[in-house]
Amino acid sequence: MKKMLIMISVLFVGACATATYEYGSNFSDASVKSIVQNETTIEEVRVMFGEPNTTAINSENTIVWTYTYLNSTAHAKNNIFSMNVTSAVTNKMLKIAFEGGVVTSYQYSNGGTPAIMQTEIH
């Protein structure tokens, strides 16, 4: 009888886990829209976004700053006969080129990929 109770208890126990990963500092779309080509200075960008994740100098001797933000969360829940996994990813990248201390161009991408997966055990 005791073994039967343990087996029944195990069947009704579910488990769950959540994992989160974050890299860089988040920034808003509105702050990106406030950048004005040939007008916004390198110091104004530093005030708006802080220090860049990477800095580079390209073949035309243009300074390029890159800001990256990544946030990823996954949640897994194990039920009796199935497992549900959900995830959400936010990925932003902003590259800004400067000449003479002024923004000459910038590229911005903002993407996310929510996903839900369910696995059933038969």
Residue 8 lies in a domain: no
pLDDT of residue 92: 93
Alpha helices, DSSP H only, in the chain? Answer: 2-11, 29-33, 42-49
* Residue partners of 34: CB distance under 8 A and separation at least 6: 40, 48
Do 16 and 68 touch, CB atoms closer than 8 A? Answer: no
Domain assignment present for residue 4? The answer is no
Residues facing residue 120 across a β-bridge:
82
Q: Which pTM was predicted?
A: 0.73
Q: Is 88 helix (H, G, I), strand (E, B) or coil?
A: strand
Q: What is the band of 7 on the pLDDT scale with cuts at 50, 70, 90?
A: low
Mean predicted confidence (pLDDT) in 93-108: 96
Tens digit of pLDDT for each residue in 55-90?
999 888 899 999 999 999 888 887 766 777 778 888
Q: What is the pLDDT of residue 117?
A: 47
For residue 10, being part of any structural domain is answered with no
6: pLDDT strictly greater than 90: no
Note the pLDDT of residue 41: 98
Is a pLDDT exceeding 50 seen at residue 94?
A: yes
For the chain, the domain total comes to: 1
pLDDT tier at 40, thresholds 50, 70, 90: very high
Mean pLDDT of 42-46: 98
